[in-house]
Amino acid sequence: MTESASATAPTTRAASDSGALLQVTDVKTHFETDRGLVRAVDGVSFTLERGKTLGIVGESGCGKTVLSRSIMGLLPKRGVVRSGSIVFEGRELTDLGPKEMREYWGAQMSMIFQDPMTSLNPVMKIGKQITESIRQHLDVTKEFADELAINLLNSVRIPEPEARMKEYPHQLSGGMRQRVCIAVALACGPKLLFADEPTTALDVTVQAQVLDLMAAQQRERYMAMVLITHDLGVVAGRADEIAVMYAGRIVEKAPTSELFSNMKMPYTEALLSSIPKLEDATHTRLATIPGRPPDLVNPPAGCKFAPRCAYAQDRCREEEPPLIEEKPGHMYRCWFPVGTPEGAAALERNKREGVVAAVALAQAETL
Amino acid sequence: MPERPPETALVGEIESPEEQIVEESIEGGLLGQSAEIEAGAVIAGGEGRRRKAGLGFGAWLAIGWLVFIVLIAVLAKTGILTWGDPEESFGECARKGPFADEGTADGFLLGCDSNGRDMIPRLALGAWTSLLVATGAIVVGFVIGGLLGMLAGYFGGKQSRIGGVIAGAFVGAVFGIIIGGVIFAVAIGLGDVLAGVLGGVLGAALGGFAGWRKGDLDTYLTGIFNVMLSIPAIVLALSLTAFLLGSAEEAAQGGGLPPELVLIIAIGVVSIPLVGRIARASALSWAQRDFVLAARAQGAKHARIMVRELLPNVLPAMFSISLLGIAIAIVAEGTLAILGVGVRPPTPSWGNIIALDRGNLFKSPHIVFEASLLIFLTVLALNFLGDVVRSRFDVREGGI
């Protein structure tokens, strides 16, 4: 214990200097399976400051959820190989055992899950589900915890919170349940909130409400948030910074406005062009990214996105591009970035040669 | 729409034609139908649940019968209301049935047994013994089996070495005592106790080592359950009872455990894997739910998650199997009595009433028949109630 304490001492100073709440460096999470090592998260680094929001965007199976659970330390111990460093408020979390992590879970960092239908206990009253963690982490009486829970329900805009406290999850609608989940997650005033696709299971009509609610709570509590989604539209107006993940790595990371105005990574472009636009004519065929995400057991050599990329050249298939920081804060992993002469030339060549992805992209543009 | 280049068509639809056909045929045929059926069932179930605010006539009848039997048993045991002395013998009435026109059986509504004892107080006190044994046995199975099952279901594939070592050593010791004990006793000629201890220690060491190598609580606990289930239940219960009861001489001197307790332990042990497997399966499926992970993400301890989050979800399944289990245990008590072990006369139980007079089945069938009828009705009521409990708590995923 003393060893690890002395080992983390320098990082403590470094972290407090930079003022970062969470500093993730080269985190790798690999799963041992019968087929081989699944590289679900493969060398992810980022820092997150207090009160800021990081959007993590990517397709299903690109490691978003595993990344958030790795940071929280919620993954099973067996068959999981973890490496890298996670520094939260100057403390190295990877050294901590489950007992010490329990102090962080709920109280310091918390998580909202995708499906509010399964993330609440069906046989426990709403009030109890909220007060559970309050009473565990804070030394308060039952009456005080109840009062706190009612205030929480009020703040997540649930009408008649006193009555709701005595209801069971099945008596609430999906949007209401997600609000309850938010209330549960916020109960002990965490400094960091992971929201793992919090609106995916909700009606489009309530998605915006729930996201606005989370943003309001975040502002009020000056809380940092990691917003995980597969929808660039969700993070567009809400994240300070966006990290695009593909095959367990960050392929592009930039402040939100920079990312949308000046994206470099063909994958980001492809994700964006796959969102239907309002100005499109009716019955416009939606743009898709051809192919599937790569097998994480045997990922392709070179750039992992190359097989599906409109810009891919021979070099992409042989040599993996490093994560380069072109402008401060804007990083990407590409040999032929979008919006550069090399990129345009590569795309032109691919179109001439009839590369599937390039043709598809051209088609999406002409339509 | 402009003409599509051939490559697009290729990639876009390279797998889709086959898939589509398969999907369509499935959806159009099987899936569509089953979905309809499912939807119909859910709707019907929903309406049924709303319409049947109560339990239904059958269930009330079953409850009524059980209350009646329990009441009679308690009254007979406490002596608040007796229907005569269960041990008083009226020699002249021996084996007389309720409708015997000769002799003096008129005073005895249900007749007398072969010793001339009135059937009514005997059946009433027998109800107490039978229900006590059956309920006690299931409580044993419920507590131990439920605990083990939930441990297996919750920690399945999760727990590392410590749990594996404990479970492995336990299984190893059990096997060691049985197998090693026999081998050492027979082959080398060691004393029974010494052989058992030696086998147990060796087994525990082997099991502990296996647990350390592949620490997985679920594997071992499921292993225990499967081994216990593979031994024929009645043989296991019979040998346990015979072993625990000790010799007749001991009993005559007032030594040994009371027979009721022995039966509770023996039948309880047999019921552990039954309840345990149900609890494990239920806990396993609930433990996968996000709310368990959410509770952990809020800092809840494992014990807390098991008690507060899992247990309330697992209980309905365990209750339902336990009601069925009590029914089975009543029959098991009867079976053991017929096989000659169990509650010793003169204490009556439904089982030993049948056992004592099974030789008089043709001459005076009423003795066996009356006790059997009580067992039959009680088991029927319990089975029926168990089904009702199961169907009422069997909440579909969509219903949550």
Segment A232-255 mean pLDDT: 89
Radius of gyration of chain B (CA): 28
What is the C-alpha separation between B318 and B73, in angstroms, rounded? 25
Question: What distance in Å separates residue B308's CA from the closest CA in chain A?
Answer: 8
Summarised one tens digit per residue, pLDDT across range B257-295 is 778 888 888 888 888 888 888 888 888 888 888 888 888
Q: Quick one: angle between helices A341-353 and A356-366, nearest 10?
A: 100
- Using CB atoms and an 8 Å cut-off, which of residues 126-155 of chain A contact chain B? 132-133, 136-137
A34: helix, strand or coil: coil
Q: Are A183 and A193 in contact (CB under 8 A)?
A: no
- Res B67: pLDDT: 92
Confidence band of A55 (pLDDT split at 50, 70, 90): very high
- Using CB atoms and an 8 Å cut-off, which of residues 242-301 of chain A contact chain B? 285, 288, 290-291
Number of Cβ within 10 Å of residue B377's Cβ equals 15
Nearest to B290 among A118, A136, A360 (CB): A118
- Res B256: pLDDT: 65
What is the C-alpha separation between A123 and A266, in angstroms, rounded? 47
Contact state of B295 with A363 under an 8 Å Cβ cutoff = no
The DSSP output letter for A238 is: T
What is the C-alpha separation between A310 and A289, in angstroms, rounded? 9
Confidence band of B376 (pLDDT split at 50, 70, 90): very high
Residue B214 above 70 pLDDT? no
| Length reported for chain A | 367
Among the residues of chain A, which ranges form H helices?
2-18, 64-72, 98-104, 126-137, 142-155, 161-165, 174-186, 204-221, 232-236, 256-261, 266-273, 314-318, 341-353, 356-366
> Strand pairing partners for A32?
A37
Torsion on CA atoms A141, A144, A148, A153, rounded to nearest 10: 100
Segment B375-387 mean pLDDT: 89
Contact state of B299 with A122 under an 8 Å Cβ cutoff = no
What is the C-alpha separation between B351 and B148, in angstroms, rounded? 31
What is the C-alpha separation between A367 and B236, in angstroms, rounded? 76
Contact state of B400 with A137 under an 8 Å Cβ cutoff = no
The helix or strand, by DSSP H or E, that contains position A27, with its residue range, turns out to be strand A20-33
Residue B345 above 80 pLDDT? no
What is the C-alpha separation between B246 and B231, in angstroms, rounded? 22
- Res B39: pLDDT: 39
Q: State pTM to two decimals.
A: 0.73
Nearest CA in chain A to B289: A118
Burial A2-39 (b: 16+ CB within 10 A, else e): eeeeeebeebeeebeeeebbbbbeebbbbbeeeeeebb
Burial B173-187 (b: 16+ CB within 10 A, else e): bbbbbbebbebbbee
Full DSSP string of B201-269:
HHHHHHHHHHHHHT--HHHHHHHHHHHHHHS-HHHHHHHHHHHHH--HHHHHTT-S--HHHHHHHHHHH
Residues in B closer than 8 angstroms to A72, CB to CB, are 297
Q: Are A310 and A334 in contact (CB under 8 A)?
A: no
What is the C-alpha separation between A228 and A211, in angstroms, rounded? 12
Contact state of A122 with B296 under an 8 Å Cβ cutoff = no
Q: Are A191 and A103 in contact (CB under 8 A)?
A: no
Measure CA A333 to chain center: 19
Residues in B closer than 8 angstroms to A120, CB to CB, are 291, 294
Full DSSP string of B70-121:
HHHHHHHHHTSS-SS-TT-B-GGGTT--TT--STTGGG-TT-B-TT-BBHHH
What share of chain B in percent tops pLDDT 70?
69
Contact state of B157 with A114 under an 8 Å Cβ cutoff = no
Ramachandran category for residue A63: left, alpha or beta (phi over 0 → left; psi -120 to 50 → alpha): left
- Res A244: pLDDT: 92
Average of per-residue pLDDT values in chain B:
74
Strands of the sheet containing A91-92, edge to edge, are A36-49, A20-33, A80-88, A91-92
Closest CA to A322 of A250, A242, A243: A250
Report residue A261 as tokens: 């105005």
- Res B19: pLDDT: 40
Residue A88 above 50 pLDDT? yes
Confidence band of A228 (pLDDT split at 50, 70, 90): very high
Confidence band of A255 (pLDDT split at 50, 70, 90): very high
Contact state of A184 with B12 under an 8 Å Cβ cutoff = no
The DSSP output letter for B150 is: H
User: Which residue shows structure tokens 């319990």?
Assistant: B382
Taking CB atoms and an 8 Å cut-off, how many pairs form between chains A and B? Answer: 101
Residue B300 above 70 pLDDT? yes
Nearest to A121 among B11, B291, B399 (CB): B291
What share of chain B in percent tops pLDDT 90?
4
Q: Is some CB atom of chain B closer than 8 A to the CB atom of A201?
A: no
Residue A109 above 60 pLDDT? yes
Segment A46-50 mean pLDDT: 90
Nearest to A78 among B4, B160, B309 (CB): B160
- Res B361: pLDDT: 78
Segment A303-307 mean pLDDT: 88
What is the C-alpha separation between A191 and A214, in angstroms, rounded? 13
Closest CA to A248 of A31, A34, A85: A31
Residue B24 above 50 pLDDT? no
Return the amino acid letter for A57: V
Residues in B closer than 8 angstroms to A184, CB to CB, are 294, 298
- Res A245: pLDDT: 92
Residue A9 above 50 pLDDT? no
- Using CB atoms and an 8 Å cut-off, which of residues 333-352 of chain A contact chain B? none
The number of CA neighbours under 13 Å toward the Cβ of B226 is 6
The helix or strand, by DSSP H or E, that contains position A110, with its residue range, turns out to be strand A109-112
Segment B351-375 mean pLDDT: 83
Question: What distance in Å separates residue B314's CA from the closest CA in chain A?
Answer: 10
B103 or A114: which carries more pLDDT confidence?
Answer: A114
What is the C-alpha separation between B134 and B330, in angstroms, rounded? 5
Q: Is the ipTM of this complex over 0.85?
A: no
Residues in A closer than 8 angstroms to B293, CB to CB, are 74, 113, 119
The DSSP output letter for B278 is: H
Report residue A27 as tokens: 């985190």
A364: helix, strand or coil: helix
Full DSSP string of B198-216:
HHHHHHHHHHHHHHHHT--
Residue B21 above 50 pLDDT? no
Nearest to B296 among A105, A181, A359 (CB): A105
Contact state of A106 with B298 under an 8 Å Cβ cutoff = yes
Segment B123-145 mean pLDDT: 89
Residues in A closer than 8 angstroms to B313, CB to CB, are 121-123
Which of A131, A194, A286, A356 is the best substitution to test chain B (most B C-beta atoms within 10 A)? Answer: A356
Residue B52 above 90 pLDDT? no
| B346 cis-preceded (ω within 30 degrees of 0) | yes
Segment A153-174 mean pLDDT: 86
Contact state of B299 with A103 under an 8 Å Cβ cutoff = yes
Q: Exposed, middle or buried, A364 (CB in 10 Å: 0-12/13-18/19+)?
A: middle
- Res B53: pLDDT: 53
- Domains in chain A, CATH or no CATH each: 1-97+224-261 (3.40.50.300), 262-366 (no CATH)
What is the C-alpha separation between B266 and B260, in angstroms, rounded? 10
Summarised one tens digit per residue, pLDDT across range A318-355 is 888 888 888 888 999 998 888 888 888 888 888 888 77
What is the C-alpha separation between B363 and A200, in angstroms, rounded? 76
B239 or A193: which carries more pLDDT confidence?
Answer: A193
Residue B3 above 50 pLDDT? no
Beta strands A20-33 and A36-49 are antiparallel
The DSSP output letter for A56 is: E
- Res B163: pLDDT: 66
Which of B154, B291, B304 is the best substitution to test chain A (most A C-beta atoms within 10 A)? Answer: B291
Confidence band of B397 (pLDDT split at 50, 70, 90): very low
Return the amino acid letter for A80: V
B312: helix, strand or coil: helix
Confidence band of B254 (pLDDT split at 50, 70, 90): low
Question: What distance in Å separates residue A135's CA from the closest CA in chain B?
Answer: 11
Q: Is some CB atom of chain B closer than 8 A to the CB atom of A31?
A: no
